[in-house]
């Protein structure tokens, strides 16, 4: 399992996360980030090329040193300072109120304690700051939900702790955020994995 987690899984995550639908979504939502940005679970850095000129500085956190190493070469093409930190979102070494925009793309599914992480994100976000998010989770269709609940235990084991049955809007509320913009839709692919919540929370 250690070989799989260290050598295979990071490459599978990178491949899976750069499909045309997620890339199109990144190109639409990531330019909304402004100021000091925290990209949570930055993974292999696939958001980096979509940040616009209003970003002044970026911190990318991820507990996977393998994925952070895959992100590092992409920093050469980014016109603002970036710091990559091997951190879990549940405990972030940034001061209170130090971030203007939090970016969450397909990350809340994998965080072991998402409520604790969201509370920590709320701590580092300045008053009036924003959360830009695109996350997959629990479908609105009971038939799909049933399969998500059935298959989640196996999926979580092979997919690096990813959960397919989290209700993202409820998680955001429980973590102290208010989704002021929210749309849901299926992306191309198996419905159990592609029901996506996109929007802006404050």
Ligand X SMILES: C[S@@+](CC[C@H](N)C(=O)[O-])C[C@H]1O[C@@H](n2cnc3c(N)ncnc32)[C@H](O)[C@@H]1O
Q: Name the minimum Å distance from CB 142 to ligand X.
A: 25
Cβ closest to ligand X, residue 38 vs residue 128: 38
Per-position DSSP letters for 130-189, written without gaps between them: EEEEEEE---SSHHHHHHHHHHHHHHHHHTTT--S---HHHHHHHTT--EEEEEEEEPSS
Cβ closest to ligand X, residue 62 vs residue 169: 62
Q: Name the minimum Å distance from CB 57 to ligand X.
A: 18
Q: Name the minimum Å distance from CB 89 to ligand X.
A: 4
Report phi then psi at 46, rounded to 5. Answer: -70, -15
Cβ closest to ligand X, residue 68 vs residue 128: 68
Cβ closest to ligand X, residue 23 vs residue 184: 23
Q: Name the minimum Å distance from CB 34 to ligand X.
A: 19
Q: Name the minimum Å distance from CB 43 to ligand X.
A: 3
- Residues in contact with ligand X by CB under 6 A are 13, 17, 40-43, 46-47, 61-64, 67, 88-90, 105-107, 110-112
Q: b/e for 145-164, b at 16 or more Cβ within 10 A?
A: bebbeeebeebbeebbebbb
Cα–Cα–Cα angle for 155, 69, 91, nearest 5°?
65
Cβ closest to ligand X, residue 105 vs residue 139: 105
User: Are the beta carbons of 70 and 94 closer than 8 angstroms?
Assistant: no
């Amino acid at each position: 399992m250690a070989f799989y987690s260290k050598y295979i899984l990071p490459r599978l995550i990178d491949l899976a996360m750069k499909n045309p639908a997620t890339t199109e979504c990144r190109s639409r939502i990531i330019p909304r980030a402004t100021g000091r940005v925290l990209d949570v679970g930055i993974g292999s850095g696939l958001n980096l090329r979509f940040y616009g000129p209003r970003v002044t500085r970026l911190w990318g956190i991820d507990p996977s040193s393998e994925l952070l190493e895959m992100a590092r070469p992409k920093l050469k093409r980014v016109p603002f300072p970036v710091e990559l930190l091997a951190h879990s979102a549940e405990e972030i070494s940034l001061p209170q109120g130090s971030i203007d925009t939090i970016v969450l793309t397909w990350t809340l599914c994998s965080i072991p304690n998402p409520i604790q992480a969201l509370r920590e994100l709320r701590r580092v976000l300045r008053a009036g700051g924003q959360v830009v998010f695109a996350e997959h989770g629990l479908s609105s269709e009971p038939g799909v939900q049933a399969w998500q609940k059935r298959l989640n235990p196996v999926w979580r084991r092979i997919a690096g702790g990813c959960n397919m049955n989290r209700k993202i809007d409820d998680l955001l509320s429980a973590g102290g955020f208010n989704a002021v913009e929210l749309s849901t839709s299926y992306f191309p692919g198996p419905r159990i994995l592609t029901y996506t919540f996109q929007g802006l929370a404050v």
